Structure 1
Amino acid sequence: MKQHILILGAGFSGMWSALSAARLLDKNNRSDISVSVLAPQAELRVRPRFYEPEVHTMKAALDELFAAVGVNFIKGSAQTIDTTNKRISYNDNQGQPNHVTYDRLILATGSSVARPALPGVNQFAFDVDQIEQAAKLESHIKALANQPDSAARNTVVVAGGGFTGIETATEMPERLRAALGNDAKIRVVIVDRGQQIGAALGENISPIIAQATSELGVEWRLGTAVTGIDADGVTLSDGQRIEAKTVVWTVGVRASSLTEQIAGERDNHGRLHVDANLKVMGQADIFATGDVAYAATDDQGNYALMTCQHAIALGRSSGNNAAASLLDVAPIPYSQEKYVTCLDLGQWGAVYTEGWDRQVKLVKDEGKQLKTQINTQWIYPPVADRAIALAAADPLIPVVA
């Protein structure tokens, strides 16, 4: 009976785990080990782009790619992890219970926005975390034109001034004008607990964010937070109210709840602590990758962030090392010393930085050109050609050079 590497999740880390495991098996001429991906859809949903319009197009089918490299796809939703019997229970595409066993498990089930227990947040707030939610926001924005003109109709409040909040807010003026017309008196407000614009992204990038949002007409409410949401607006922690028909929640991210079924230490985002080969600490047969892994990127005290950039490299490493553990060949420790950011700032442009201290390298149009390349080319899957796809999954290939 073949040994089995099972990957839960078909996001960036799950897809690259599958390709990387298949690569190492191919390299060692081993056909006695199978690789499977269990996920609700055989598609990569390009989550870093969900702040943009036309969100329904931001996915890439994986059927042909998996078939080209010999990866099995199991359509279903994982429910429970039995680490003793190495068994995953899942609901199949008909909603019926089923199960599958594994010899090595790679948990790549990602993360989701963490909505707090605030009045109205679940009923009235949108988000850009999953494609379905982002599509609801897009439909809502397009439908605003059917409502009577008012300050509330023309106002969007974005809760959170981190990466996602800034990209969402700076895209909003253009999206609102497309829906409401160029003469509409639109208003976009970012509500953030920080005391400085873009504080979460560091002092080097903060002045650029301030300049871009000012020129776009995006307002900031600093040192405060949203404490309640209703159909007509938000209440802030300082007692003020903003009338708004559109509220987008971008605060806080939490690793998949499936991590809670695996014994191990977790960080404050729920990510499992892993060793240098991405094996879960204390587990002999389980690897964690992407947004569910708390992994050191280097020996300088830096850890992978919950981003596409880190998920790609984490996936290549986890797939390779899970396969290596069955082949009895040396693993390749995960390492990702170079860190960059490219923050979209709407019609103003973008800003590109390098290093954990975010040294600014490109701004405005030059930054936007790079961001467009990243969003439309670099983060998409390789073509469904066996040789090309397997070569692209080499864990020693840097995500950013």
Structure 2
Amino acid sequence: MSRKILIVGAGFAGVWSALGAARVLDTHGKTADVEITLISPKPEIVIRPRLHEHAPHEMSAPLLPLLEAAGVKFIEAEVERIDTSSARFVHAIASDGRHITVPYDRLVLTSGSKLNRPPVPGLLENTFAVDQLSDAVKLDRHLAELANLPDSAARHTIVVVGGGFTGLEVATELPERLRNIHGADARFKIIVVERADAIGPDLGPNPRPMITEALTSMGIEFQVGSGVVAIDENGVLTAAGERINSKTVIWTGGMIASSLTSQVSTRLDRQGRAEVTGDLRVVGTDHVFAAGDVATALTDDEGHYALMSCQHAIFMGRFAGHNVAADLVGVPTLEYRQPFYATCLDLGEWGAVYTEGWDREVLLTHDEGKARKRMINTQWIYPPAANRVDALAAGNPQMSF
């Protein structure tokens, strides 16, 4: 009977984990001895970094041809419970509603993250988001339907809560999106509300002048130092006591890891990510690995931890896939390292800001930055071609991207 690798989640980390594991088995002639299965609610990867763009319903890519080429099985189901005891099963609900049990010898948890929605009054009922594909599609439809609402300042005002990476990309994409929907003469007020004392707080000071320039050039207002404390169907209330009337409130307030992490570890960080060893094994287990947004992993020897980003998820996925297969067939695992770090912040029609290093040295801006962002978002983060050679090559943890 073949041994079984189970990968939970078909995001960036999960897909590249599957390719990494398949590559190891192919290299060592163990393809017939080990079965790799990817389990996820849908046989597609959602390109989450593009959900702030127009036509979000197009921001996914099919997985079945790629997985078939790599020799990876797929189960269309949502995992509810992970048994890490000697029994080693996961319990899931299949797409047809059946409760199923799937055994494994080694498991890679790559179930991703979701938008943090704290208990702010009215948040769940009265906000939009770009976190999941369904969220982004709902917002897209709402933007198109604004013209059907009675004319008012609230109809023409959009509040983006959160001035971090996602909030800035959402806000700066809106002017062009709204003109495309409502015509060249459409006039909307866009306000970014950030509770920190500076816009783009996690991006550091180097790109901030470009961010400010982009917002100002597009007429986007931003308020810092006061978060949103209540939301209703007609707007928001800030901690400073200001009322902003709006029919469109978009929440971008940070991410938290999938709750499945608590089923495989008790050592979780403030974002709910599981602590892992150098080879991405969940601390306290010998047969569960984690990668992507669910793992707290060091990227280098200088104390930098991976962020909840596709660039870290893809690399971690390759290492986790390599290591889970290597561990099962008895060859050495690799220590995850990803010393190169870059960011590319899309700033709508202004362009983009591309930085390198953890101090975020600005290297490209405006049209040059936009060209780099376009390459990242339309080429580098998409799965490889659905043939075995490209699929296995993409799983190599030594690849530069």
TM over 0.5: yes
**CA displacement at 1:183 relative to structure 2:** 2.5
> Partners in 2 of 1:263 and 1:377 — Cα distance?
35
Residue of 351, 354, 378 corresponding to 1:352: 354
1:249 maps onto 2:251 in alignment: yes
- Deviations 1:28-49 (Å, cap 9, x if unpaired)? 1111101000000111100010
1:34 maps onto 2:18 in alignment: no
Residues 16 and 394 of structure 2 are in contact (CA less than 8 Å); yes or no, is this contact kept in structure 1?
no
Residue of 235, 242, 245 corresponding to 2:237: 235
**CA displacement at 1:54 relative to structure 2:** 0.4
More displaced 10-residue stretch of structure 1: 309-318 or 197-206: 197-206
Q: How does 1:347-386 map to 2 (within 5 A)?
A: 347-386=349-388
- Deviations 1:192-225 (Å, cap 9, x if unpaired)? 0121222321010111101110001111111001
Could you say which residue in structure 2 is the equivalent of 1:120?
122
Unpaired segments of 5 or more residues in structure 1?
Answer: none
Could you say which residue in structure 2 is the equivalent of 1:63?
64
Could you say which residue in structure 2 is the equivalent of 1:317?
319
**CA displacement at 1:182 relative to structure 2:** 2.7
**CA displacement at 1:178 relative to structure 2:** 2.1
Q: How does 1:271-286 map to 2 (within 5 A)?
A: 271-286=273-288
> Partners in 2 of 1:202 and 1:3 — Cα distance?
47
> Partners in 2 of 1:7 and 1:388 — Cα distance?
20
**CA displacement at 1:184 relative to structure 2:** 3.0
> Partners in 1 of 2:151 and 2:363 — Cα distance?
42
- 1:299 partner SS: coil
Could you say which residue in structure 2 is the equivalent of 1:210?
212
1:20 maps onto 2:16 in alignment: no
> Partners in 2 of 1:118 and 1:183 — Cα distance?
35
> Partners in 2 of 1:360 and 1:6 — Cα distance?
40
**CA displacement at 1:263 relative to structure 2:** 2.8
Could you say which residue in structure 2 is the equivalent of 1:265?
267
Residues 192 and 225 of structure 1 are in contact (CA less than 8 Å); yes or no, is this contact kept in structure 2?
yes
Could you say which residue in structure 2 is the equivalent of 1:149?
151
**CA displacement at 1:155 relative to structure 2:** 1.0
Residues 158 and 169 of structure 1 are in contact (CA less than 8 Å); yes or no, is this contact kept in structure 2?
yes
**CA displacement at 1:86 relative to structure 2:** 0.5
> Partners in 2 of 1:203 and 1:126 — Cα distance?
29
Residues 198 and 210 of structure 1 are in contact (CA less than 8 Å); yes or no, is this contact kept in structure 2?
no
Could you say which residue in structure 2 is the equivalent of 1:5?
5
- Which amino acid is the alignment partner of residue 291 of structure 2? T
- Which amino acid is the alignment partner of residue 44 of structure 2? E
Residues 264 and 280 of structure 1 are in contact (CA less than 8 Å); yes or no, is this contact kept in structure 2?
no
Could you say which residue in structure 2 is the equivalent of 1:89?
91
Q: How does 1:97-108 map to 2 (within 5 A)?
A: 97-108=99-110
After TM superposition, where is structure 1 displaced by more than 4 Å over at least 4 residues in a row?
A: none
- 1:391 partner SS: helix
> Partners in 2 of 1:20 and 1:222 — Cα distance?
43
**CA displacement at 1:332 relative to structure 2:** 1.5
Specify whether residues 81 and 9 from structure 1 end up closer, same or farther in structure 2 by C-alpha distance, changes over 3 A only. same
Unpaired segments of 5 or more residues in structure 2?
Answer: none
**CA displacement at 1:137 relative to structure 2:** 0.2
Paired residues, number:
399
TM-score by structure 1 length?
0.98
**CA displacement at 1:96 relative to structure 2:** 1.3
Residues 224 and 236 of structure 1 are in contact (CA less than 8 Å); yes or no, is this contact kept in structure 2?
yes
> Partners in 2 of 1:97 and 1:341 — Cα distance?
41
**CA displacement at 1:95 relative to structure 2:** 1.3
> Partners in 2 of 1:133 and 1:317 — Cα distance?
31
More displaced 10-residue stretch of structure 1: 361-370 or 149-158: 149-158
Residues 296 and 304 of structure 1 are in contact (CA less than 8 Å); yes or no, is this contact kept in structure 2?
yes
Could you say which residue in structure 1 is the equivalent of 2:195?
193
Q: How does 1:279-294 map to 2 (within 5 A)?
A: 279-294=281-296
- 1:305 partner SS: coil
More displaced 10-residue stretch of structure 1: 216-225 or 261-270: 261-270
**CA displacement at 1:262 relative to structure 2:** 1.4
1:303 maps onto 2:295 in alignment: no
- Deviations 1:104-125 (Å, cap 9, x if unpaired)? 0000000000101111111110
Residue of 205, 225, 228 corresponding to 1:226: 228
- Which amino acid is the alignment partner of residue 367 of structure 2? D
1:165 maps onto 2:199 in alignment: no
- 1:126 partner SS: coil
1:76 maps onto 2:77 in alignment: yes
**CA displacement at 1:317 relative to structure 2:** 0.3
Could you say which residue in structure 1 is the equivalent of 2:179?
177
- Deviations 1:263-299 (Å, cap 9, x if unpaired)? 3311110000001100001101000000000000000
- Which amino acid is the alignment partner of residue 396 of structure 1? Q
The two structures, once aligned, show a CA RMSD in angstroms of 0.8
Residues 52 and 130 of structure 2 are in contact (CA less than 8 Å); yes or no, is this contact kept in structure 1?
yes
> Partners in 2 of 1:7 and 1:44 — Cα distance?
14
- Deviations 1:290-337 (Å, cap 9, x if unpaired)? 000000000000000000000000000000000000111111111100
- Which amino acid is the alignment partner of residue 42 of structure 1? P
**CA displacement at 1:237 relative to structure 2:** 0.7
- Deviations 1:198-255 (Å, cap 9, x if unpaired)? 2321010111101110001111111001111111111111111111110000002100
